Structure 1
């Protein structure tokens, strides 16, 4: 059954997940498997969810080496691609629950949307969210190699020390600007 999508587990191979392809205005112009979207640099949709615990610490993790994009890099967001026909809000909740391993997670609060472009021809529409997460968390072993809740000060110190996913770093800098003004 390789490649068949199951409602609870998704595609057997993540490269086969169907994504919406969107234009510069975030309008859907087609659909394609994730592997093709990545290989051809097609614009798609992603969600970024900043998870905080009761002490306002931020969930930070290192991605596994098996990830299709940005393997083994650090990230201050959980999230991922928005499936074809899926809303940003639904994707944010699904991705946060999956990656944090917390079923009772509340619906993430949307903050803003922006077009991420890496300067090398790859871009995706990105919707940024925030959610309160009460530990314990049980992150997916396929997604997360290491994790911790860190203070905002520690996160700021680590920005220049650790190798971060470039889209997450860009989203975090936009979030800081958003909060500043």
Structure 2
């Protein structure tokens, strides 16, 4: 099944509906929504992608998310991805959107935040490990382990949107 996304321009206006693989292959702008999850103590959920995934197998991530489907808002995509990947349905709060030219291909990246009350129940096809890290533990882990390309830039924009530096 072909994952359909909206190809967009530099102002995030829809140009066409295309396959996601084609958008990545051709370097066309499309939309991605991610969510940084915290617990009540302020720790950040980190997960490791399953080894069999096509994109960045075995890499760690600081946010859960994926492509925004055709006709879907960034917030709807963020909520859907949390349910699919982590088995949770918390309210998501939009923080920031920016044009990200890193990673596999250029895309608009919308970063959200959610505070999880329920324990995550990750999809084992997508997530092979997850854990809660303090900000200092997370920053140390990012220096020592392979993280997806979007992780560092998403986290940087996340902290900037919150108006603070990581602890």
Give the TM-score normalised by the residue count of structure 2.
0.91
Match status 1:107 vs 2:107:
no
Instruction: Please show how residues 117-128 of structure 1 align to structure 2 within 5 Å.
Output: 117-118=101-102, 122-128=105-111
Structure 1 moving runs of 4+ over 3 Å: none
Give, in angstroms, the shift of residue 59 of structure 1: 0.7
Higher RCO (C-alpha 8 Å, min separation 6): 2
Any stretches of 5+ residues in structure 2 without a counterpart?
none
Partner Cα distance (1:127, 1:56) in 2: 21
Give, in angstroms, the shift of residue 119 of structure 1: 8.2
Any stretches of 5+ residues in structure 1 without a counterpart?
4-15
2:69 paired residue number = 83
1:131 paired residue number = 114
CA RMSD of aligned residues (A): 1.7
* 8 Å CA contact 1:109, 1:131 repeated in 2: yes
Partner Cα distance (1:77, 1:128) in 2: 8
SS of the aligned residue for 2:147 comes to coil
Partner Cα distance (2:107, 2:128) in 1: 25
Length, aligned pairs only = 164
Match status 1:40 vs 2:40:
no
Residue in structure 2 matching 1:116, options 96, 100, 107 = 100
Give, in angstroms, the shift of residue 60 of structure 1: 0.1
Give the TM-score normalised by the residue count of structure 1.
0.84
